[in-house]
Amino acid sequence: MKKLILIFTFLFISSVCYSQEVTTYYFIRHAEKLRLDKTDKNPKLNYEGVKRADAWKEVFSNVTIDAVYSTDYNRTKLTAKPTADSKNLPLLLYHPNDMYSESFQHETKGRSILVVGHSNTINVFANKVLGIEKYNQISDDNNSNLYIVTVINEKVSSTLLKIN
């Protein structure tokens, strides 16, 4: 009887451990943009930005990424594209006014997702997933933050890394 109880206990604990659903979001701001024309609302990346976009690809080279999301701007798409291409993934677009919607949560649940946005949206997106106001707007000269937000069975945690 003791063996039977031990076996059932082991099977129960194993099923609980393996049934945990993990969703991981990697949030980054677009790389450095061209600033030559102040009237250009949709600039591309400058030389440093192109190098940073390639560096992000390297940062994520050993990370499983199931989908890559970007806003519909040149600078975000050009930042996301090297990583998406290296993972053979299409670039999916999202609107910054519709962050962390129910449909987005459903589509990304249990997956690892890269999201590329802007200095005034990435922190908001991360905060929405967290359910608290933890992160402030990113400084205009900062293109190196990596926010990692993990959801495990409704429990949310996060960390902020600076990748130079």
1, part of any domain: no
Q: What does the block give as tokens for 161? A: 């890394």
Q: For residue 45, what are the domain limits? A: 21-162
Centroid of chain to Cα 40:
27
CATH assignment of the domain containing 74: 3.40.50.1240
Q: One digit per residue, pLDDT tens: the chain, 164 residues? A: 444 343 444 434 444 445 689 999 999 999 999 999 999 999 999 999 999 999 999 999 999 999 999 999 999 999 999 999 999 999 999 998 889 999 999 999 999 999 999 999 999 999 999 999 999 999 999 999 999 999 999 899 999 999 98
Taking the C-alpha atoms of residue 71 and residue 123, their distance in angstroms, rounded to an integer, is 14
Q: What's the number of CA atoms in the CB half-sphere (13 Å) around residue 70?
A: 20
Q: Is the pTM of this model over 0.85?
A: yes
Residue environment code for 119-144, b if the CB has 16+ CB neighbours within 10 A, otherwise e: bebbbbbbbbbbeeeebeebeeeebb
- Domain presence at residue 54: yes
